[in-house]
Amino acid sequence: MKYEARMREKAEALRREGHALILSVESSCDETAIAVVEDGRIERANAIASQIDVHALYGGVVPEIASRMHVEAIDPLLDEALRQAGVGLDDIDAVAVTYGPGLVGALLTGVSWAKAFAYAADKPLIPVNHIEGHVSANYVAHPDLNPPFVCLVASGGHSHIVYVEAPGHYELLGGTTDDAAGEAFDKVARILKIPYPGGPLLDKLAEEGNDRAYEFPRPHTPGKYDFSFSGLKTAVINRAHHLEQMGETIDAKDWAASFRRCVVDMLVDKTLAAAKDRGASCIAAAGGVASNSLLRRELERRGTKMGFRVCVPPPRLCTDNAVMIGSAGFYRLMAGELATLDLNALPALEMFER
Ligand code: KG4
Ligand code: ZN
């Protein structure tokens, strides 16, 4: 029997059992990661090789360098993941891989590797959307969490508010009309001379600043649950240049705190409004920006006050990792979705039909 027909049978058997130990692969940007996840909920291994130090030299991700570093990192990560999980290849039931969105060369590394691995080891291959992966990190962080819930997804390239009806079933409630939240953090960090990646370091600096020291514009958006960061970002950058020209120095801590407050208020206001109007009882957050300390505190404080259960994964599961891909992959497998060996990387893959 051919590989693909054989895999359909294997996947069907796993679906009937409702159990699977999944080896998952993530390489969409500047982190190479392989994880082992049990039944979509239990983290058995989480091996990551970060390239941040190298890209920091250039002030941002250099796609060609990212692809090459993924190639170098991926094989040792397999050994590391199996070692952490205490399992052998035979124990793995299926392989899940991020096939988009992301940098095409970076994605291709993981996709090609996962296809070769799945074929050689005779395991079913599951295609995973990176953004759906971010949402699914919540299933690992909160094993009793089940949809429906409203999830704020905020990363370097995406900012959405999503109604999660069931794993794999999403309704887009709102999102950014221009820049992603992480992109805004990174660009404002640059004018504060904070090295790449700006978001986490700006967050640290902001912890020591006064968030009322500077008044920045609060943009209006046409959609009730939409956000816009481009105007705020431009205003913040222009004002910094203007002050510089006037010979005034800006207080980086206060600047960071005031900017962070604007972004976080916007994200939290809209998420809470969307959840309230949708009649949800639980709010979750996902993506790199969900590791922002003020965002976590404010969602928890204001969400709980409004009677929501608030779920946010620990920071290490908010930023890119393969555990989230293993969780999303499990639910895709249970829904009967498999990739064929002609799976390609889709850099602009969408999660929602607009
Ligand atoms: O989800 P992620 O790791 O990668 C993408 O899929 O994009 O998100 C990375 C983004 C970057 O823009 C980074 O600056 C931002 O998340 N980020 C943060 C924090 N940690 C990461 N932004 C604000 N505060 C943080 N603590
Ligand atoms: Zn991501």
Q: What is the pLDDT of residue 353?
A: 57
Nearest to residue 50, comparing CAs of 312, 316, 347, 324?
A: 316
Write the residue with the smallest CA distance to atom 24 of ligand 1: 292
Residues with CB under 6 A from ligand 1: 29, 155-157, 182, 185-186, 197-200, 203, 287-289, 291-292, 319-320
How far away, in angstroms, is 349 Cα from ligand 2 center?
Answer: 13
Indicate which ligand has the atom closest to the C-alpha of 285.
1
Cross-strand pairs, 273: none
Q: Among 224, 242, 221, 243, which residue's Cα sits nearest to residue 232?
A: 221
Please state the atom number of ligand 1 nearest to the C-alpha of residue 28.
Answer: 6
| pLDDT confidence of residue 222 | 81
| Residue whose CB lies within 8 A of the most ligand 1 atoms, among 135, 262, 319, for a mutation test | 319
Query: Omega into 197 within 30° of 0, i.e. cis?
Result: yes
Question: CA-CA distance, 144 to 301, in Å (whole number)?
Answer: 21
Which ligand is nearest to the Cα of residue 158, counting in written order? Answer: 1
The pLDDT assigned to 1 comes to 81
Q: Which atom of ligand 1 is least distant from the CA of 189?
A: 14
Which residues have a beta carbon within 5 Å of ligand 2, which is an ion? 155, 320
- Ligand 2 mean position, distance from CA 215 (Å): 30
* Predicted local confidence at residue 354, as pLDDT: 46
**Ligand 1: which of 155, 201, 203, 297 to mutate, most ligand atoms within 8 Å of CB?**
155
Q: Quote the ligand 2 centre to 288 CA distance (angstroms).
A: 6
Give average pLDDT by consecutive 10-residue segment, the chain, 354 residues.
95 98 98 98 98 92 96 98 98 98 98 98 98 98 98 96 96 95 95 91 98 92 92 93 92 97 97 98 98 98 98 98 98 97 97 65
Mutate which of 136, 262, 289 for ligand 1? The one with the most ligand atoms within 8 Å of its CB, which is 289
* Strand order across the 282-286 sheet: 169-175, 159-166, 149-154, 282-286, 309-311
Please report, for residues 89, 116, 231, 336, the alpha-carbon distance to residue 20 in angstroms, rounded to integers and kept in the order given: 13, 20, 46, 13
Distance, CA 152 to ligand 1 centroid (Å)?
A: 13
CA of 130 to the centre of ligand 1 (A): 14
Closest-lying ligand to the alpha carbon of 287? Answer: 1
pTM (whole model) above 0.95: yes
